Amino acid sequence: MQQLLNKLANSVIGGPDDLAGIGEILNLLDLLEAKDPSFAGNGAHLEALRKMFNHIILDESQDRQSDWLAIQRKVAELCDNGRDQSAAAGQPFETVCEPADPGFADAGEGPTGHGATEIFDPELVRDFLEEARDHLSSIEMNLLALETDPENLEAISAIFRPFHSIKGVSGFLNLPDIHNLTHHVENLLDEARAGKLKVTEQVIDLVLEAVDILKMLLDQVKIALQDSHPVQACWAEVEAFCKRLECLQDTHGAAAEAATGGGSGEAVEPAAPHGFPAAVDTAGEPAAAARGEMRTTATPSPSNPSKDPTLPSRTKERAASVRIDTWKLDNLVDMVGELVIAQSMVLQNPDLQGIKNQKLQKDSIQLRRITNEMQRIAMSMRMVPIKNTFQKMTRLVRDLSRKSGKEVALAMHGEETEIDRNMVEEIYDPLVHMIRNSIDHGIETPEERTAAGKNRQGTILIAAEQKGGNIVIDIRDDGRGLDTEKIRDTAVRRGVISGDEQLDEKSIYELIFHPGFSTKDEITEVSGRGVGMDVVKKCIEHLRGKMEIFSIPGQGTQFQFKLPLTMAIIDGMIIRIGDQRYVVPTISLQESLRPLEDAYVTVQGKGELIKVRKNLMPLIRLHRIFEVEPRCHDPWEGLLLVVNEDGRPYCLLADEIVGRQEVVIKSLGGSLGHIQGVSGGAILGDGRVTLIIDVKGIVKRYKEIHNDISDAA
């Protein structure tokens, strides 16, 4: 209670030109009102205070200076009431509140000293962690932009503001290490904004290091929150880093002062008043998010906030977004999927279809349209742009290029492509592995590139686009390309293949996915341990995706991920085998055909083969895999589905194709979840359950059966 009151008092010290903190103050009032019944008794004062703020926000104030003074007096009255209540409870206000100046981080000490810090409001801390992560991502991107244009004051301000927001909220939440660190970084950036400190590579490196330290501190807070323990202090480490920042400021400050003749004629932008950021401060957002309310971010004009024409519209945008728990969203999507299935079962009921009623038919069409639209909207709620994941790679490329001594630039395309939010984190590690390999194995040194007639700086492109029901992600480099001879020799030396085994180019590329495989002669800090590519492939397959490699010697390599847009729904081809129906994901299909009789051949030791355009493909009889009686035993009477697995084509024999349909994936549960060749189930419109085929599992099962037959022969 006392900390909240003190935060409220500090928040109104600023003048009337600081509007971005008003949302924070209003959230603090709501929080105080909710937490303390006696404070809620100040209803008339609170209502009057809210009206004053609304006048300023909507620019309806006749005398903003007078109104702001009235606000300060009203807040002082509320804080006095709070102090009186604390004293009456035998808990002196001064002994527990924050210092009057929230910038207590000057000495690296917070209100709790150097020991562990108790978390007094877990909900606020959870929201703070999420907001802080977003801020740090923004900071990294703007830092890398600033590195290319050190004189860009807009970029400096864009870095300063998130640090200021993190500082403000961390002080409010009693997280002294985070507050101390961000306070010192903020001071450094403030001098850069004022022109007193030149932005150099050393400055960029230190601020990036501060970002890494903050990530570590946030992880500690997250662990403490999960375990319901106090946050352990890292005072010594933070203080040591802050000393480095101060040393840098002193060194650069003295140089700048000498260069400007003492700096007396230089205009310095003052730091933002306590409680108010320079432009955007989200310090109050966690309080709103904890109550499940709508949130909005105000961005007043830096020149004259009171005349900002966007202020009225900003107020109306409070309903622009809402934060909800992810499990609620997942449950909603599941229920909408169930609704679509139930609707389809009802409308395909033979008894209902036998009713010849025009109004019923019209209402049925309307019901189908509404449910389909509901499903589309529900699924779109799970979709997020892949931009944030791509942007994280920028920092990775910068750091790895320095470690490897190479010059590498990252280009991005299609960042706005949307993907299921459940897949976003899953594809992060594969992208990291691919980029590490591209820099270490693919991109040459500047000297090698110059000798080959290339630009000294190599380029890595990551691109995303939606194709049908899939998202395609490409990672390309303009390096040396894959050396098939070296890959093959390494595979033979490691016993992956025999020396006399003949492989085509695509099959040789597939060898790099073998566990522990690496063509690197020596282990480096970047790669060479043989760990990575097999993990990448397993991760992509876990997401029901596929991966392909394309390479041209001397020109570069392209790795392509093809993934379903969402983990909840797949686009599938429904096939029939005997009395059973199965779904084959279209992402696995290349084509379907009915072969001629003379295209069927058998080869001793290789089993049944189908000749498709001069290529011999193994024939997999699905009815044997699933142990059902087919209608068609001869391939030329049935239908073949051509799939590609492990770089080789295979033909799946089915009786017929029923149709193509998007189906909602259902788990088979723990006891049936590991059946080879089956990835899940789906409920079709007639209410019958069908199995979703896992092509990789089918091919693996076929190879096992084929080997058993060969051994027996």
Which structural domain, as residue segments, surrounds residue 554?
Answer: 384-564
Q: Is there a single domain that holds both residue 497 and residue 526? A: yes
Q: Is there a single domain that holds both residue 393 and residue 506? A: yes
- The CATH code of the domain that includes 466 is 3.30.565.10
Q: Is there a single domain that holds both residue 558 and residue 592? A: no
Report whether 297 contacts 282 (CB < 8 A): yes
- Final residue in a domain of this structure, among 564, 585, 615: 564
Q: Is there a single domain that holds both residue 185 and residue 59? A: no
Q: Is there a single domain that holds both residue 438 and residue 514? A: yes
In a domain, 86, yes or no: yes
Q: Among all chains, which residue has been given the structure tokens 């024939």?
A: 619
- Final residue in a domain of this structure, among 337, 363, 381: 381
Q: Among all chains, which residue has been given the structure tokens 């779904």?
A: 583
- The CATH code of the domain that includes 607 is 2.30.30.40
Count of domains in the chain? 5
- The CATH code of the domain that includes 363 is 1.10.287
User: φ and ψ at 236, to 5 degrees?
Assistant: -65, -45
In a domain, 595, yes or no: yes
Instruction: Specify the pTM.
Output: 0.60
- For residue 364, what pLDDT is reported? 87
Q: Is there a single domain that holds both residue 75 and residue 181? A: no
In a domain, 244, yes or no: yes
In a domain, 445, yes or no: yes
Q: Is there a single domain that holds both residue 582 and residue 516? A: no
- Final residue in a domain of this structure, among 564, 588, 611: 564
- For residue 577, what pLDDT is reported? 93
- The string over 132-156, giving b where at least 16 C-beta atoms fall within 10 Å of a residue's C-beta and e elsewhere, is beebbbbbbbbbbebbeeeeeeebb
In a domain, 430, yes or no: yes
In a domain, 291, yes or no: no
Q: Is there a single domain that holds both residue 458 and residue 510? A: yes
- For residue 66, what pLDDT is reported? 65
Could you tell me the two tokens for 58? 């909507």
What is the tens place of the pLDDT at every residue in 259-312?
545 443 343 333 333 332 333 333 333 333 333 333 333 333 333 333 333 333
- For residue 556, what pLDDT is reported? 92
Q: Is there a single domain that holds both residue 488 and residue 433? A: yes
In a domain, 278, yes or no: no
In a domain, 155, yes or no: yes
Which stretches of the chain score pLDDT less than 50?
Answer: 14-20, 87, 90-113, 260, 262-319, 528-531, 708-713
Cα radius of gyration (the chain): 32
- For residue 17, what pLDDT is reported? 45
Q: Is there a single domain that holds both residue 339 and residue 406? A: no
Q: Is there a single domain that holds both residue 436 and residue 582? A: no
DSSP letter string, 234-281: -HHHHHHHHHHHHHHHHHHHHHHHHHTTTSTT---PPPPPTT--SS--
Farthest CA pair distance, the chain: 99
Q: Is there a single domain that holds both residue 592 and residue 676? A: yes
